[in-house]
Each structure stands twice: as structure tokens, then as C-alpha cells.
Amino acid sequence: MKATIKLSPVIAGCMKWGQWGEKFTTQQHLRLIEECLDYKITTFDHADIYGDYTAEQEFGNALKENSSLRRQMQIITKCGIRRFTPNKPENKIHSYDTSKEYIINAVEKSLQNFNTDYLDVLLIHRPDPLMNPHEIAEAFIILKQQGKVLHFGVSNFTPSQMDMMMTAFDIEFNQVEISVIKLEPFHDGTLDKCIQHKIRPMAWGALGSGKLHIEDDENEIRNKRILAVANLLGEKYNAAPDQILLAFLLKHPSGIIPVMGTTKIERLKSAYDATRISIEREEWFMLWRASMGHEVP
């Protein structure tokens, strides 16, 4: 049984809303949440470690101000990373923990942070070299039976790690880095695996995490090629270059959902509008060629 949850076609990534970025107040959180919902951006992406374990609670404080918003949205969060920070003195080093006890305790804390009694989606944040898929599955089954988590997935998992996980539990999502400058998922089996098992991919860094616009780096020539094509296609589709780069991801048959890490509602709206653009196959390969620096074989 695969994912039946309906997520918005663009996901608002909340990593930089709080202490790791804009340091929004509760009212600023509330305003941006409401603006997203008004524009039908209903899915919000978190992780327990964001803001050194503060971002979930800051978002939850905004939901406490208007509890009716919770029913209008889907909350994604992640666990499995133990981050060394003053907020978690019990963590002695950066490490991973995907034990049954840790996952269940992390979810309980996230529920408390968000002021909610359920999470829409829980992801294992990164592959743990010590992970036991059957133990993870035990935690997922308990959380599902208790109604505390509705849907499950992974993040940054390779195809073989996805296979291993699926020996024990039917995962529904894999959130990985995908963009016009991060093409590996298109040919390393990651997106093939998603299609094969009806796993929905989410793309973090969907616009290259700002790397497309860095000057004087080793990839400057590649970046200029990509932006030249994006500008050319932008003229045809009356679209911004960033919208064309999102349309590149959206063209893929696996159903990639971009996770947008911006804190600006204008950029979130622009990303949502990009979901209406359908570039042609040859145009998709123009962007591919610009990124790779050569024709397809």
C-alpha cells in the first residue's frame, strides 16, 4: 500500500525560518504559514535538529496561536541524527541513532514541539551505518498503530539502502538532493527505484542551494551554460530562470516534489507557479547538456 497522502506540489522547507536563518518571531512564522496556505502551499518540511533542536517548537508556537491551521497543512519531520549542541548536552558527538527507542522518543518530542497529536510524514534523516531495518520497522509500526505518524519514508538513502529498508517496511518517500547541478539521482538508480516501488521523491536543494550563482568557482562555466539555457527557455514560457530549473525536475516521471528552502513568500509563490510549466523533451535535454558539458551518448 503506497502513499495516499496528498502533499502540495511544492513543499515549504523550514530549516532557515528560525535560528539557522531568519530567526523569525512567532508572529513572523504565523504570517508566512498563513501566506503559504493561502497560496495552496500546504506542506511544511522540518527536522528535529533544525535550529539546533529549536525550529520545530518555534513553528509549533505559531500553530498554538491559531490551532485551526494544523488541519489545513501536512507536517513532515525527520529524525535519526544526534547533533552535538548545547541544547542536547547528552549528545557527546555528531552521530546517528535509528534505534527503536530513539525514533519513538524523537517523535514524542516532535509532537510536543508542534503542539499536535500526529505527524503527517516521518523520515529517517540520513542512513545510519548501524541501522537495522527491522528495528526501524518496529518503531514505525508502533507509531502508525498509535496514530502518531501517518506516513513514513527516508531521506538521503541510496537505492541499495532503500532496498534494505523495504525488506522490513514499505517506505513511501525518499528526500534527496536533486537539481540541474546534482544529476546523480537521475542515473544512479535513485529515481528508478522510486518509479519501481511507487516511492515519491522529494528534492532538497532543488535550485542548487545557491551554487549556480557563485562567481569564480570551479563550476562557473557550467553555471553560465545552465543559466543561458534557463534564460532562453524563460523567454519562451514567460517564466523566471528558477522556474525553468524547477520545471526540469517536474518533468521527470517519478513525480519529484521540490522542497524550497527559501524564507521569502514571493519565491515560494514563484516555485508553485512553476508547477504549471511543462517543458518539451528536447528542452529538458538542453538543460541536461548544459549541466553535463556534453551531448548524451
Q: How far is CA 18 from CA 12, 13, 21, 56, 139, in A?
A: 13, 11, 6, 9, 29
Q: Residues 120, 126, 131, 134: is their CA dihedral positive or negative? A: positive
**Catalytic site residue 96?**
no
Greatest alpha-carbon pair distance for the chain in Å reads 56
| Relative orientation angle of helices 241-250 and 265-274, to the nearest 10 degrees | 50
Quote the CA–CA distance of 49 and 155 in Å, as a whole number: 14
Active-site position among 39, 50, 53, 118: 50
Nearest to 246 by CA among 265, 232, 259: 259
Q: Outline where DSSP puts E strands in the chain.
A: 11-13, 43-45, 74-79, 81-82, 95-96, 119-124, 149-155, 173-177, 200-204, 257-260
Neighbour count for residue 60 (Cβ, 10 Å): 22
Neighbour count for residue 39 (Cβ, 10 Å): 16
Quote the CA–CA distance of 186 and 292 in Å, as a whole number: 12
- Which residues participate in catalysis according to the annotation? 50
